Amino acid sequence: MRVSLNGYFLANEHTGSGQYVTHLLQHLRGVEVAVHRPPGLLGNVGKVRWEQSGWPRQARASGADLLHGPYFALPLKRDRPAVVTIHDLIPVILPAYRGSLLVRAYTWLQALACRSAEAILVDSECSRRDVLDRLHVAPERVHVVYLGVDPRYTPDRSGPPPLDRPYVFYIGGMDQRKNVPALLRAFSLVAARRPDLLLAIGGQVPEPGPLFPDVRSLAGALGNRVRFLGAMDEARKVELLRHAELFVAPSLYEGFGLGPLEAMACGCPVASSNASSLPEIVEDAGLLFDPHDERAMADAMLRALDDPEPLRRKGPAQAARFTWERSAEQTAAAYRSALDILP
């Protein structure tokens, strides 16, 4: 079995799709994988052209039996079976993310192409429901294959704390669905009870716009209790998770929820939104709250801060259920299913 894997996002392994492909390549066994990529950096039109013609041409030349699109994209016309991984359907489900007419046309094209895939892999039961509801495909073709957690995420608080004050940590993006303004308002209620705490926010802060709230202005009301840490590598993130008093995941919609999973693996207590896929990732190893209710968010944060040890114990065991080895095994099984190869 020879698989042509779309490696478009390998050039930036810090993206979710880039990390996904990187881990799959490290853990797939018993499968010959040919990674196919465009010849250089492409604009939007060039990317579509490569997905629809360049990639299938490379797959044919390599003698691949199967195409695997590791994100929401497949060639509409193809001469061999295909598997696609749909991490989420954000541009289909959330109106604010549908973009321009050209972006909507691209989404429509990919929905049409992916609907005919022999197998569709999704990251969660939540994403499976979304795919069945929005793409109207046969349920037996949609398979939940959970992502894994990198082995470097482990509990180890032996080193010095990375910040000069105890802190609650958030990392995971600043766009609308991430719900960071609600987190800031909830943290103001927490800070009234715990004036020693910082809210440490990782990741770049984009300029305010239609999809990006002005989080810096909102944080200004909290003064020096909010610290923006900027972009960071995985080693820095691991260090911050290991020493945080709490990790908060306030998101309104996630196809999987890698942030709380990594936090649990590090033994960091988690307070998480009860929306979309997050409850099935966190289960009872974290405290869940309604992301639309800022007081409920603050109450969950305070409860976790007041009694962190049960969450520190439960988190690593819950995270251990999600491995890249298992994800790769289930992906290889989907390849065999798409090719009608018996296990």
pLDDT in tens, 60-83: 999 999 999 999 999 999 999 999
Q: How confident is the model at residue 11 (pLDDT cuts 50, 70, 90)?
A: low
> Given this model, what pLDDT does residue 159 score?
87
CA distance 241 to 159: 12
Q: Is 109 helix (H, G, I), strand (E, B) or coil?
A: helix
> Given this model, what pLDDT does residue 15 score?
73
pLDDT in tens, 224-237: 999 999 999 999 99
Q: Is 96 helix (H, G, I), strand (E, B) or coil?
A: helix
CA angle 197, 199, 201 (to 5 degrees): 155
pLDDT in tens, 78-127: 999 999 999 999 999 999 999 999 999 999 999 999 999 999 999 999 99
> Given this model, what pLDDT does residue 82 score?
97
Residues 252/179, Cβ–Cβ less than 8 Å: yes
Give the CA distances from residue 256 to residues 140, 149, 229, 285, 320, in Å, rounded to whole numbers and listed in that order.
21, 12, 24, 16, 15
Give the CA distances from residue 301 to residues 16, 96, 252, 261, in Å, rounded to whole numbers and listed in that order.
27, 28, 17, 17
Percent of residues, the chain, with pLDDT higher than 90: 92
> Given this model, what pLDDT does residue 340 score?
87
> Given this model, what pLDDT does residue 40 score?
74
Residue range 264-282: mean pLDDT, rounded: 98
Sign of CA dihedral 157, 163, 165, 166: negative
> Given this model, what pLDDT does residue 77 score?
94
Instruction: Check pLDDT > 70 for residue 160.
Output: yes
> Given this model, what pLDDT does residue 16 score?
77
Domains of the chain: residue spans and CATH: 2-148+323-338 (3.40.50.2000), 167-319 (3.40.50.2000)
> Given this model, what pLDDT does residue 152 score?
95
Helix axes 16-27, 324-338, angle to 10 degrees: 80
* Alpha helix (H) residue ranges in the chain: 16-27, 44-49, 55-62, 90-93, 101-115, 125-135, 180-193, 215-220, 234-243, 258-265, 278-282, 294-306, 309-319, 324-338
- For residue 327, give both structure tokens: 């994800």
> Given this model, what pLDDT does residue 9 score?
87
Residue range 209-226: mean pLDDT, rounded: 95
What's phi and psi for 83, nearest 5 deg? Answer: -120, 140
Q: How confident is the model at residue 342 (pLDDT cuts 50, 70, 90)?
A: low
Instruction: Check pLDDT > 90 for residue 43.
Output: no
CA distance 219 to 27: 41
Residue range 199-208: mean pLDDT, rounded: 96
Instruction: Please list the helix, strand and coil fractions of the chain in percent, rounded to the nearest 5, in that order.
Output: 45, 15, 35
Q: Do the bridges between strand 82-86 and strand 119-122 make them parallel or antiparallel, or are there none, so unpaired?
A: parallel
Residues 286/264, Cβ–Cβ less than 8 Å: yes
> Given this model, what pLDDT does residue 343 score?
59
DSSP character string of 167-183: EEEEES--SGGG-HHHH
- Mean pLDDT, the chain, whole residue set: 95
